[in-house]
Amino acid sequence: MAKDTGTAPAPRPAEKVRNVALVGHAGAGKTTLAEALLVATGALPRAGRVEDGNTCLDNEEVEVRQQRSVSLGVATVEHAGHRLTLLDTPGSPDFVGELRAGLRAADAALFVVSAVAGVDATTVQLWEECAAVGMPRAVVITQLDRPRADVDDAVRACRTMLGDGVFPMHLLRRGPDGAVTGLVSLLEPHVELAGEEGQDADRLRAELIEGIIAESEDETLMDRYLGGEELSVTDLVADLETAVARGHFHPVLCAAPLTGVGIPELLDLLVSAFPCPMEHGCPPVTRPDGTPAPVPSCDADGPLVAEVVKTTTDPYLGRVSLVRVFSGTLRPDTAVHVSGHGMADRGHPDHDVDERIGAVSSPLGSVLRPVASCPAGDVCAVARLGSAETGDTLSTPEDPRLVAPWDLPTPQLPVALEAASRSDEDRLTTALTRLVAEDPTVRLERRPDTGQLLLWCVGEAHAEVLLERLRVRHGVTVTTVPVRVPMVETLAGPARVTGRHVKQSGGHGQYAIVVVEAEPGPPGSGVVFEQRIVGGTVPGQFHGSVEKGIRAQAERGVSGDRPIVDVHVTLVDGKAHSVDSSDAAFQAAGALALREAVAAAGTRVLEPWCEVEVAVPGEYVGAVMSDLSGRRARVTGSDADPDRDRTTVRAEVPEVELLSYAGVLRSVSHGTGGFTRRPLGYEPAPASLTAVPA
């Protein structure tokens, strides 16, 4: 990240602000489109790259390329008197956290669809996510000049797969060689088009106009149209913003970023038809203690309510927070209250602190341009917020607020880490703390049963990027090792044994003899101890000592490092000495008795199982079922949601079979599936898993 002395777009009133998230699957051309918009508005002086949130300028001619964007890129530009913030979201399902951060900061979503690849299942899923929260949406079809591009087919796919309310706004104008040279607006009458082309244009224009009128607040507009009146473009554009803002009307545009075709029309649509922050509103807000708080309006003079949607750590600037301001105005060098609640299970403990912010900047990729203030409706970058993490709320210290956190997927891919060297080990804790603060989809865990340090990730690509960030951004190199699934043991049968701990040396000796009956207990019962001593052969003050010794030995295990679970141990007899018996002696005797029971009865190795719910589109249910059957799973049922074409498959699966399941499910469902799990208990493990670790 770098500071810039250049001029940032001036703050605008909220009605002159547009915050737009670019959404679509990987390879659809989002980043190339963002670059073309920046060039068209003068933010970039020539063709360049906007990749992974960084703005890079190339002197060479831009070539067609596929980009792998893994982070939320942000650029604020000026067009037609409006302040336009573009949020370029990643297309890979592994980086859904960055995607949802972009949607949280935006007031509308622009879906980017390739004229070559069309609409895939991932795009449909993202569309449904936006629909669920009422996010206004539009579609832009790109890569018009690629080989095998079929714009008409892409438009038909959008109308078929994205549901009602999808209306094309333009027809393509082609040159003699078939190349796209421009667009023909469907809002205009097409007297110059004849024959079949003219009939198609008239039909599409009628559908477009009727779609706009259906969302219009002017009740006379439909009557005028049905009465044969030719509605002006001005009348239609005036109602276009209302139609888009309501979230039921979705215009489709076309653009060729490398030639510039459609870019001016797209910019005009963004400022004329997309909703402003005042129309989108603020997410639910409470006070930090959970008591209700009034929902703030998008008012620059109101109480400060803002949210950190992205956090990065810069080696020169320190922690930099990307902030969406919902109410009030954020100014440099002022005190704010930082509230973070609701993600303690992912390494983000609740916190409420007052801090003083540093510089406030307008972002252009990796370049930060200082601004005097950031009013309600705007997005800005803030420096020097030491405790703020992604998802935190910034508010007025005198009246702190808390914005409800956005939904995030539970990371399901564990990666076991070890520092590559002693110097890396010294820096690893600090680096991981910063990594977790930057990415709320990450969970860090030190497993007490195996001692391994686990970094829970959304998918394999997510894990690769996190490890690379550790190395490059934080200077720490780690190695990955196989994740160990904790096995346990239980008795294979009943046994009656004696634990004898008798040692005689000068002075006080150690004397404790216990007789116990041990047997396997019901699954999930743990270690159950009881005593049936008759005649006081073991004094009552030592019964607890015997139990303590048995439990300590069960926790340590007998063979290898596998704990003993689900056993019922009964103290039935024993002997004590009036001088040499002690608490320590009977603890040792109890531990020895459990070891003797294991030797006499043998053990069964148990592995952990999980209860799993897998949600996928209906077309992938068969593939999911087939894969689960190969993982020793027991499918217990399924529920179909025909309205969303999603099916949830419920199954019981060994935990060891879930270590890499996140990536497998991603492949089987083409990036559209997800799953959750919860511990179910332990069951006998197959022989292939019962070898004691060396």
**Residue-range domains of the chain with CATH:** 2-185+249-280 (3.40.50.300), 285-403 (2.40.30.10), 413-481 (3.30.70.870), 488-601 (3.30.230.10), 605-689 (3.30.70.240)
Nearest to 408 by CA among 658, 649, 101: 101
Please give the pLDDT value at position 3. Answer: 58
Rounded CA-CA distance 392/404 in Å is 9
CA atoms within 13 A on the CB side of 465: 21
Backbone φ and ψ for 496, nearest 5 degrees, come out as: -115, 120
How far apart CA 23 and CA 510 sit, in angstroms, is 73
Q: What's the pLDDT score for residue 4?
A: 55
Please give the torsion angle defined by the CA atoms of residues 59, 60, 66 and 68, in that order, rounded to the nearest 10 degrees.
-30
C-alpha torsion 44→45→48→51, nearest 10:
-20
**Whole-number Å distance between alpha carbons of 70 and 84:** 22
- The 10s digit of each residue's pLDDT in 523-566 is 889 999 999 998 889 999 999 999 999 999 999 999 777 899 99
- Which of 137-151, 280-294, 348-362, 515-529 is modeled with the greatest confidence? 515-529
Say if residue 65's pLDDT is above 50. no
Res. 53: pLDDT tops 70: no
Work out the burial of residue 177: count CB atoms within 10 Å of its CB; fewer than 13 is exposed, 13-18 middle, 19 or more buried: exposed
The alpha helices in 327-459, defined as continuous H runs, are 422-438
Q: What is the DSSP code (8-state) at residue 422?
A: H
Contact present, 285 and 445 (Cβ < 8 Å) = no
What does the pLDDT average to over 138-150? 89
The predicted model gives 601-606 an average pLDDT of 94
- What is the three-class DSSP state of 420? coil
Nearest CA-CA partner of 325 in 308, 313, 310: 308
Q: What is the spatial distance between Cα 312 and Cα 318, in angstroms, rounded to a whole number?
A: 8
Give the residue-averaged pLDDT of 400-428: 91
Both tokens of 476, joined, read: 């720490």
CA distances (Å), origin 433, targets 38, 340, 388, 445, 524: 35, 15, 12, 12, 35
Tens digit of pLDDT for each residue in 443-493?
999 998 888 999 999 999 999 999 999 998 889 999 999 999 999 999 999
Nearest to 332 by CA among 282, 384, 283, 367: 384
What sign does the CA torsion over 34, 40, 43, 49 have?
positive
Average pLDDT, the chain: 87
d(CA 606, CA 621): 30
Residue at token pair 């000796």: 509
| Number of residues written out for the chain | 694
pLDDT of 163 strictly over 60: yes
Spell out the SS3 assignment of 167-233: EECEEEEECCCCCEEEEEECCCCCCCCCHHHHHHHHHHHHHHHHHHHHCCCCCHHHHHHHCCCCCCH
> 664: which residues sit within 8 A by CB, 6+ positions away?
627
Pairing verdict, β 137-142 and 166-168:
unpaired
Q: What angle do CA 371, 374, 378 make, to 5 degrees?
A: 120
Q: Are strands 634-641 and 567-575 parallel, antiparallel or unpaired?
A: unpaired
* 75 torsion bin: left (phi>0), alpha (psi -120 to 50), beta (else): beta
Q: How many Å apart are CA 89 and CA 98, to the nearest integer? A: 6
Choose among 663, 629, 664: nearest CA to 649.
629
DSSP 26: T
For the four alpha carbons of 551, 556, 558 and 562, in that order, the dihedral sign comes to positive
Parallel, antiparallel or unpaired: strands 82-88 and 17-23: parallel
Count Cβ atoms below 10 Å from residue 149 Cβ, excluding itself: 18
Question: Which H or E run contains 648?
Answer: strand 646-654
Residue 52: predicted pLDDT: 40
Lowest mean pLDDT among 186-200, 281-295, 384-398, 404-418: 186-200
Residue whose structure tokens are 């996140």: 662
Mean pLDDT of 37-65: 52
**Beta carbons of 602 and 671 less than 8 angstroms apart:** no
**Which two structure tokens, joined as six digits, stand for 496?**
């009656």
Give percent of the chain above pLDDT 90.
Answer: 52
- Return the number of other C-beta atoms located less than 10 Å from residue 308's C-beta: 25
pLDDT at res. 106: 94
From first CA to last CA, the distance across the chain in angstroms is: 47
pLDDT confidence tier of residue 185, bands split at 50, 70 and 90? confident
What pLDDT sits at residue 507? Answer: 66
